[in-house]
Structure 1
Amino acid sequence: MAPPRVSVIIIVFNGETYLAEAIDSVLGQTFTDFELLIVDDGSTDASREISAAYVEAHPGRVRLLRHPEGANRGMSATRNLGLAHAQGDLVAFLDADDVWVPGKLADQVAILEREPSAGMVYGRALIWHDWRPDAVEQDFVYDLGVEPDQIYRPPHLFHLQLKNVYQTPTSSGSLLRKSLVDEVGGFEAAFKGMFEDQVFYAKALLAAPTYVADAVWFKYRQHPTSATATSAAAGADDRARLRYLTWLSRYLANRRADPEAQRAVRRTIADLRLSRAKGFARRVLRKVRR
């Protein structure tokens, strides 16, 4: 039996609330030549039972993976476990609280077939508030920062990602060639939470041309228990980004990467540190004036 064309990887940690909806959005794809690997990262809720029910209902198509002894090892190590078992020559990720639109895989596979030089394709994410009946904020999409529906060679999109204001590749919104994933070494296990995806996609954007599409292929659910919302509420975003940028600077230096890319990262680190220092000074001044 031939291996599937696409390996879809969903990682989950205590995601029982939204997991079934994510899985259903994969099984509802118009493109059907895929396998679904659900990788549990030591959940203590009903995530494993929900996943196991889908495995039983879809034998041969859906598989459930766990770390040895059901350990919790973080997002990067959990994605890498899925990659180690992936059989497809194309790889897609879906976060357990997000949802794909039905034509996501069909559209993206067709693009990579049409554009053999592209190692990856991504489009827009719908920033999704409307899933809640009482939502106050409106759904929206971010600016791509480039003209869509064309290929960009490295390092153009890498520099765009550094700005941290545009829509760049996301785990739920991209499709990659497995050869590219293997070339860049997958995800960095030291990044267990925030910016684990940006670490990976920075490497990918430097390694291969990428096709940027104008399409909206997934809904990025906004809720207060997401990793992004939790980090923002704790005021940890800048610290996490600084850690990511510091890692990236070392990564580029060790590989003797494009000097301009190295300078751009160092400038971004300096700007972020200056911004944090100014923010700290403003907070101290407000306290003094009280």
Structure 2
Amino acid sequence: MISVIIPVYNQADKIGRCLDSLLAQTYRDFEIIIVDDGSTDHLDEVLLAYELKLQKAKIPYKIIVQENRGANAARNRGWNESQGDFLLFSDADIFWRADALEKLVNSLMRNPQASYCYSSFRLGRKKFHLWPFDPERLRREPYIHTSALIRRQDFPGFDNAIKRFQDWDLWLTMLEQGKGGLFYDDFLFTVAGGGRISKWLPSFTYKLLPFLPQVKKYQEAATVIKVKHRLPYDPK
């Protein structure tokens, strides 16, 4: 079974499309774990409406409400509450292609040496085509997003102390443990457009979009990751 874990904070306007895309999946052996990380919008009302849809579709689910503790803490809470052999962390503003879960799980089943499987994605209408798994590239740059399908037995958990580059930190930690990834060469999900885009974007895109005001903060945060994982960095 796949556990789809959705940490969400004040995205009542986005999560419906995410849940609709999961309800439409061709692969049906999954559960949904939603972690409301202290939202102050009308998320509870939206989720109440979707509970009926999930029950009708016979999809197991949990809705967990906690005080705001940040994305990594919410992801870890979802992981601890989940039951699946595979984990998929999906932000609320992602919607999935109908065969996404099927493609990802089949890829891992055919490649037992891989600990996780990731794909390319769209940001609105723009395509972000990623690269095959390469340990050396991964050490140089954060090009793999958080929304990969991960074998539960290989997942070390997120570091709650890391506030940015959570994706890079996770994959580097797994790499240090001898666990690698697998690239599925297709666009399996789309990130919705809107004001929160820059908060979602996978870390590597900040090299491609230097005009974003958060770039400097992310560059500073990258140094934290490099020091933690003993990677070369420029101290200037």
TM range (shorter): 0.7 to 0.9
Task: Find the aligned partners of 2:82 and 2:226 in 1 and give their Cα distance.
Answer: 27
- What is the alpha-carbon distance in structure 2 between the residues aligned to residue 58 and residue 116 of structure 1? 31
- Measured in 1, the distance between the counterparts of 2:45 and 2:141 equals 37
- Determine if contact 2:4/2:90 at 8 Å carries over to the other structure: yes
The aligned runs of 1:78-97 (5 Å cut-off) are 78-97=74-93
Highest relative contact order (Cα 8 Å, sep 6+), 1 or 2? 2
User: Which structure carries more helix by proportion?
Assistant: 1
Specify which of 195, 207, 224 is matched with residue 224 of structure 1.
195
Contact 2:119–2:130 (CA under 8 A) maintained in structure 1: no
Check if 1:202 corresponds to 2:168: no
Classify the secondary structure of the residue corresponding to 1:96: coil
Supply the distance in 2 between the matched residues of 1:237 and 1:221 (Cα, whole angstroms).
Answer: 20
Percent identity, please: 26
CA RMSD of aligned residues (A): 2.3
Alignment of 1:138-287 (within 5 A): 139-144=126-131, 146=132, 152=133, 156-157=134-135, 159-164=136-141, 168-172=143-147, 174-181=148-155, 184=156, 186-192=157-163, 194-207=164-177, 208-226=179-197, 227-228=199-200, 235-250=213-228, 252=229, 262=230, 265-266=231-232, 269-270=233-234, 274=236
Q: Quick check: 2:130–2:144 contact (8 Å CA) kept in 1?
A: no
Residues of 2 paired with 1:142 and 1:116: CA distance?
A: 24
Structure 2: any 5+ residue segments left out of the alignment? none
Q: Which amino acid is the alignment partner of residue 223 of structure 1?
A: G
Write out per-residue CA displacement over residues 256-280 of structure 1, whole angstroms, 9 at most, x where no aligned residue.
Answer: xxxxxx3xx22xx21xx55xxxxxx
Scaled by the length of structure 1, the TM-score of the pair is 0.70
Contact 1:38 1:51 (C-alpha < 8 Å) held by counterparts? no
For the pair 1:63 / 2:55, whether they are aligned, the reply is: no
The SS at the match of 2:129 is coil
Secondary structure of the structure 1 residue equivalent to 2:195: coil
Divergent runs of 4+, >4 A: 231-234
Distance across 2 between alignment mates of 1:27 and 1:42: 25
User: What amino acid is the match of 1:127?
Assistant: L
Q: Is the 8 A contact 1:120 1:176 kept in 2?
A: yes
Letter in 1 for 2:62: R
Aligned to 1:135: none
Q: Specify the alignment match of 1:37 in structure 2.
A: 33
Measured against aligned partners, the alpha-carbon deviations of 1:226-258 in whole angstroms (never above 9, x if no partner) come to 3147x98773323334324324423x3xxxxxx
Unmatched 5+ stretches in structure 1: 130-138, 147-151, 253-261, 275-290
SS in structure 1 opposite 2:194?
coil
Structure 2 CA distance, aligned partners of 1:164 and 1:222? 24
Shift of 1:200: 1.6
Structure 2: how far apart are the matches of 1:228 and 1:28? Answer: 23
Give the conservation status (yes or no) of the 8 Å contact 1:41–1:73: yes
Amino acid at match of 1:109: V
1:17-69 C-alpha deviation (Å, 9 max, x unpaired): 111001111111100000001110100111122123222432461210122xx
Equivalences, count = 224
| Distance verdict in 2 for CA 1:233–1:224, change over 3 Å | farther
Partner deviation per Cα, 1:130-188 (whole Å, 9 max, x = no partner): xxxxxxxxx222342x4xxxxx5xxx33x3234447xx32123x10001111xx2x111
